[in-house]
């Protein structure tokens, strides 16, 4: 009894004589194919359960999808803004605006002098005429600009700092102040400034997204856990019966874990669909806005890696939620009537 299960061949009885049970290895227990079969049954059964409870399934999936799409779209937004700042990070430039009464020749002289400085890698002179022409091309303000009697723009020097000398933000700032003290120069702008500020904001936003993601991830966990818990309550009778017949805890647990996995996986898929649809709405207005700024920035969508990450996280949340719900149940004492 404790060893192998004896088995009998049906319809081979030889009358009333009692024969000791023949022994043969149990082919369907503990074998790998048996394990695979159990998983197949659990998968088939859990999918069927989802399919036959459409209302609760869809509500749960919608809750999961919405909860997941919020952090997903926020982090997408951040990624996009980061790429926006990444563009310029490698070439910080200093723009020096000359005073209005400074002539083109004076500007070029100053440029030559600045070129000598070791802090400066390159100096580019943009005359007011050039600047006006560029401005017309870029912004489409051509007609408005035509109405002006004279060019309102000053001459400009665009300085590329030598990063070996001016790599540090503070040193860069000090150098900018020094430039400002030149009599020809009206004002100085470090165009990495706004990027630095934006990056600081983005760092904060990063943390906010993380907090939101954790909270909403927890929500998904609870939603799935609760759905599975209700499912377990509905199937208490079934669990009791299968236990009486000899089901192991892992056998009882398996369909519920798969149930959680499906909820997580399908919920994650729906959240990806939601995010992508939202992106479709945003692409053309963003492109319009970017073109107004003379940028060819395009909104980057959810890349395959990120999609996989979202699916993996949601699937994992589903498994954990289900596991917690079933574990709580299985630890209760066995009930026998």
Partner 1 sequence: MIEFRGISKRYAAGQLALYNVNLKIQAGEMIFITGNSGAGKSTLLKLIALLERPSKGELLVGGTPLNKLSRHQVPAYRRRIGFIFQDPHLLYDRTVFENVAIPLLISGMGLVEIRRRVNAALDKVGLMHKAGSYPLMLSAGERQRVGIARAVVNRPTIILADEPTGNLDPALAQDIMYTFAQFNELGTTVLIASHDHMLVERMKKRIIVLQKVEE
Per CB under 8 A, residues contacting partner 1 are 1-3, 5-10, 12-13, 15-16, 18-22, 28-29, 31, 33-38, 41, 237-238, 240-249, 251, 336
Which strand (E) or helix (H) includes residue 33? Answer: helix 32-52
Smaller CB separation from partner 1, 2 or 204? 2
Between 30 and 170, CB nearer to partner 1: 30
**Closer Cβ to partner 1, 37 or 122, answer by number:** 37
| Residue 23: other Cβ atoms inside 10 A | 11
**Residue recorded with tokens 């699916």:** 311
- Range list of H helices, 117-248: 128-139, 142-146, 163-166, 169-180, 193-234, 236-245
Q: Decide whether 12 or 147 has the Cβ nearer to partner 1.
A: 12
Shortest CB 262 distance to partner 1, Å: 19
User: How many CB atoms lie under 10 A from the CB of residue 157?
Assistant: 23
Q: How far is the CB of 20 from partner 1 (least distance, A)?
A: 7
Shortest approach of partner 1 to residue 219 CB, angstroms? 30
C-beta of 42: minimal distance to partner 1 in Å?
A: 9
* Shortest Å, Cβ 321 to partner 1: 24
Give the residue with the Cβ less far from partner 1, 1 or 204. 1
Dist CA 325 CA 319 (whole Å): 10
Tokens matching residue 329:
């149940």
Closest to 128 in 3D by CA, of 111, 96, 104, 93: 104
What is the distance between the alpha carbons of residues 131 and 336, in angstroms, rounded to a whole number? Answer: 88
């Amino acid at each position: 009894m404790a060893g192998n299960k004896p088995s009998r061949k049906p319809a081979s009885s030889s009358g009333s004589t009692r024969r000791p049970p023949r022994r043969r290895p149990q082919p369907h227990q503990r074998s790998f194919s048996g394990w695979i079969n159990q998983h197949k049954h659990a998968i088939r059964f859990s999918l069927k359960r989802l399919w036959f409870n459409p209302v609760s399934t869809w509500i749960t999936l919608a809750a999961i999808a919405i909860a997941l799409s919020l952090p997903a779209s926020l982090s997408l937004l951040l990624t996009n803004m980061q790429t926006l700042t990444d563009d310029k990070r490698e070439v910080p430039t200093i723009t020096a605006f000359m005073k209005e009464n400074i002539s083109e020749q004076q500007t070029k002289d100053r440029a030559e002098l600045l070129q000598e400085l070791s802090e400066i890698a390159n100096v580019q002179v943009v005359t007011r005429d050039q600047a006006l022409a560029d401005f017309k091309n870029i912004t489409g303000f051509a007609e408005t600009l035509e109405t002006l009697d004279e060019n309102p723009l000053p001459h400009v020097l665009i300085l590329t700092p030598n990063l070996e000398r001016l790599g540090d933000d503070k040193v860069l700032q000090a150098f900018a102040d020094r430039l400002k003290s030149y009599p020809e120069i009206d004002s100085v702008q470090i165009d990495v400034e706004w990027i630095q500020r934006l990056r600081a904001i983005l760092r904060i936003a990063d943390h906010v997204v993380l907090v939101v993601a954790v909270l909403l991830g927890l929500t998904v966990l609870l939603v799935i856990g609760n759905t599975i818990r209700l499912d377990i309550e509905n199937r208490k009778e079934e669990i009791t019966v299968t236990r009486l017949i000899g089901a192991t805890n892992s056998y009882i647990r398996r369909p519920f874990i798969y149930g959680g996995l499906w909820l997580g996986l399908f919920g994650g898929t729906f959240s990806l669909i939601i995010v992508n649809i939202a992106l479709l709405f945003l692409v053309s207005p963003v492109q319009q806005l970017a073109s107004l700024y003379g940028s060819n920035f395009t909104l980057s969508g959810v890349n395959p890696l990120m999609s996989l990450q979202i699916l993996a996280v949601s699937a994992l949340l589903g498994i954990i939620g289900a596991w917690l719900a079933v574990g709580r149940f299985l630890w209760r004492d066995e009930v026998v009537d």
